[in-house]
Amino acid sequence: MQISTKEIEVRYAETDQMGVVYHANYLVWMELGRTQLIKDLGFNYAEMERDGIISPVIDIQASYKKPLRYGETATINTWVEQYDGFRVEYKYEVLNGAGELALTGSSKHVCVKRENFRPISLKRSYPDWHEAYLQAMKQPVDEGEKV
C-alpha cells in the first residue's frame, strides 16, 4: 500500500493545560494526512469540491498511545485501508520525534453531492481516483514504513 507522510511541528496553541497536544488536534492532523495522501496520488480535493462533490466523515476512530508536546515534530502516516468504489477508509499513525507511536486512527468517508448529500460512485464519476485508490492499496509496504 502507498503510505503518505506529513510532518507537523507541534505548536503551543495545540497543547492543553497539561502541556500535551489536545486530543481534538489529532483529528485535524488526520485530515492533513488524508489530503496529503490525495495530493501524493496526484489529485486535488478542492477541485472535487468545485465540482459540487464533498467527502464527509461517516465514522472516525482514534486511539491515543503517547502524548506529544509543544516543540516536538509529529509525523502522520496515512494510507487507504479499504475502498469499495463508494466508501473509503483511511488509516493513520502519528509518530513522535523519536519514531514512537503516539496515535492510531481511522476515518471513513463517502463522496456525496453537496446540494442533497446523495452518495456518488467514485468509480463512475472519478475513474482516475478510483484506479489510483485501487493501486495505492496494492503497492507493497517498505520494511519499517509502518510502525
CB-based contacts of 14, cutoff 8 Å, min separation 6: 21, 22, 25, 70
**Identity (one letter) of the amino acid at 88?**
V
C-alpha cell at 94: 502519528
The answer to whether 40 is a known catalytic residue is no
Describe the strand order of the beta sheet including 57-64 as a list of residue ranges: 4-9, 73-83, 87-95, 101-110, 57-64
d(CA 88, CA 70): 32
- C-beta separation of 120 from 127 below 8 A: no
Q: Please give the C-alpha separations between residue 59 and each of 88, 91, 126, in angstroms, as whole numbers.
A: 11, 12, 22
Q: Which of 16, 51, 59, 84 is catalytic?
A: 16
CA gap 56, 66 in Å, rounded:
28
Catalytic residues: 16
